[in-house]
Structure 1
Amino acid sequence: MTVAKSSSIVLKEFLKLPETKPASEYIDGEIFQKPMPKARHARLQGKLISVVNEVTEENRIAYAFPELRCTFGGRSTVPDIAVLRWENIEFDENGEPVDSVLVAPDWTIEILSPDQSSNRVTGNILHCLKYGCQLGWLIDPDDSSILVFQPKQQPELCYRQDNLVVLGGVDLNLTVEQVFSWLKMAL
C-alpha cells in the first residue's frame, strides 16, 4: 500500500516522520506501507529468528533482528528479518546496539504476504545485494518455495528437499521442507 503524498519527499524528511504500524518503507522517493503480518508470516519469522540466533548469538557470529529499519543507498526498508554479522552491528558505550542501522543487512529475509508486491520485495532484496548484502531469501508460503539470491549469481528457486544456502560462517543446515514444516502446529 502506498501512503498518499502529493509529491515525493527526500529520505531525510521520511526519517523524521513517526513510525507506522505496520512499518513504512522509503523507496525511490515514495513511501510504501508494508502489509500487516498474518499468522503464517509471523510463525515463519519467529521460528527463523530463533533458529538463526540459537546458532549465532553465543559465539557472536551474527544476530537476526525482526523488522529492523535499515537505511542505506538512498532507501530505508524494513526486512522481515535482517541478519547482521556481529562486526557490522554498531554498539554504544553501554554495549547496546545503536538504533539507527545505516548499512545493508548481511542476510535479508522476506516472507511474502498475499497482498504484497513480489516485485517490490524482490527489488528490496536486489537493493540490499547491490550495497553489500551477501544473501537474500524470498519465502513464499503459498507455494512452499524459497527464492535464494546471492551477489552476481542467478537466483535459485528452492523447493522440498533442496538445501538452503545460509550466511557464510553460520552453522545451520536447513531444507525448504524443514522451514515450511514449522507451519504445521496442530499435528
Structure 2
Amino acid sequence: MTGAVNFPTLTLEEFLKRPETKPASEFVEGRIEQRPMPQGKHSRLQWKFCDAVNAVAEAAQIAMAFPELRCTFGNRSIVPDAAVFVWERIPFDAAGEIANTFAQPPDWTVEILSPEQKTTRVIRNILHCLNYGAQLGWMIDPDERIILVFRPAQLPTEFREDEVLPVLPGVDLVLTVNNVFNWLKGQR
C-alpha cells in the first residue's frame, strides 16, 4: 500500500537516519511517502532504459543511468525510477568510486507510472527536479502507451508511437515511444 505518513516534527535529516524501506520511501514536504512496489512492466522498462543509456554513454564518460537512486536536494529526498547524471556531475569518493550519497537532482529524471500510483505525485517529483536544475524529465505511462516529456520552463509534451524522444545532449541514443514499449515484449 502506498501513501503518506505524517510526522509533525520530522525533518529531512531525521528521515535520512531512518532505515531504508522496501519499496523505497521518499521525503516530500515533511511527509514520508512510500513508493509502490515495482511490478513486471515497470521493472522491465526501468532496466532496459538504464541499460540503453549506459550502453551509449557510460564507456565514453558522457553520462550514467542509475535505477532507483536516492537523490536528496531542495528539502526532499526522492527515488526516481531512473536518474541519469552527466559524467561531470556524478559524485565520486576519495577512492575514485561512485559515492553513496547524491545530494543533487539528476540531469534527466524518469518516472514509470504504476497502476496504483497518483499521476500528480509523479509529476510533482519531476517538476521538483526541473526546478533544481534537471534538464529533462520523462513520465512513462505503460497503460496509455505515451511518454510525457518535461523540460525547464516549458509545457509538457506528449509523445506517441513513432515519435523520437528527446534525450540529454551528448547522449547518442535514438528512441521512439514504440521502441520503449517494445522492450515489454522481451526477446526469445
Q: When the two structures are superposed, what TM-score results if normalisation uses the length of structure 1?
A: 0.97
Map of 2:185 onto structure 1: 184
Map of 1:9 onto structure 2: 10
Instruction: Check conservation: 1:8, 1:30, Cα contact below 8 A.
Output: no
State whether structure 2 residue 20 is matched by structure 1 residue 19. Answer: yes
Map of 1:45 onto structure 2: 46
3-state SS of 2:56 partner: helix
Residue deviations 1:148-178 (CA, integer Å, cap 9, x gap)? 0001111101110111000111001110011
CA pair 79-142 structure 1, distance change in 2 beyond 3 A: same
How far apart, in 2, do the equivalents of 1:4 and 1:56 lie? 38
Name which of structure 1's ranges 93-102 and 103-112 shifts more when overlaid on structure 2.
93-102
Letter in 1 for 2:27: Y
Letter in 2 for 1:99: N
How far apart, in 2, do the equivalents of 1:141 and 1:88 lie? 30
How far apart, in 2, do the equivalents of 1:71 and 1:186 lie? 36
Map of 2:136 onto structure 1: 135
CA pair 115-174 structure 1, distance change in 2 beyond 3 A: same
CA pair 171-91 structure 1, distance change in 2 beyond 3 A: same
How far apart, in 1, do the equivalents of 2:5 and 2:57 lie? 40
CA pair 97-186 structure 1, distance change in 2 beyond 3 A: closer
Deviation (angstroms), 1:186: 6.6
Instruction: Check conservation: 1:61, 1:169, Cα contact below 8 A.
Output: yes
3-state SS of 2:47 partner: helix
Residue ranges of structure 2 left out of the alignment (5+ in a row): none
Q: When the two structures are superposed, what TM-score results if normalisation uses the length of structure 2?
A: 0.96
* Residues paired across the two proteins, number: 187
Deviation (angstroms), 1:8: 4.7
CA pair 157-98 structure 1, distance change in 2 beyond 3 A: same
3-state SS of 1:91 partner: coil
RMSD: 1.1
Instruction: Check conservation: 2:7, 2:31, Cα contact below 8 A.
Output: no
Residue deviations 1:38-80 (CA, integer Å, cap 9, x gap)? 0000010010010000000011000000100000001000000
3-state SS of 1:82 partner: strand
How far apart, in 1, do the equivalents of 2:5 and 2:163 lie? 41
Q: How does 1:102-117 map to 2 (within 5 A)?
A: 102-117=103-118
Instruction: Check conservation: 2:7, 2:30, Cα contact below 8 A.
Output: no
Instruction: Check conservation: 1:107, 1:134, Cα contact below 8 A.
Output: yes
How far apart, in 1, do the equivalents of 2:172 and 2:9 lie? 43
How far apart, in 2, do the equivalents of 1:62 and 1:157 lie? 25
Letter in 1 for 2:6: K
> What's the % identity of the aligned pairs?
56
Deviation (angstroms), 1:5: 3.5
Deviation (angstroms), 1:91: 0.7
Letter in 2 for 1:107: W
Map of 1:66 onto structure 2: 67
Instruction: Check conservation: 1:110, 1:121, Cα contact below 8 A.
Output: yes
Instruction: Check conservation: 1:107, 1:135, Cα contact below 8 A.
Output: yes
CA pair 30-6 structure 1, distance change in 2 beyond 3 A: closer
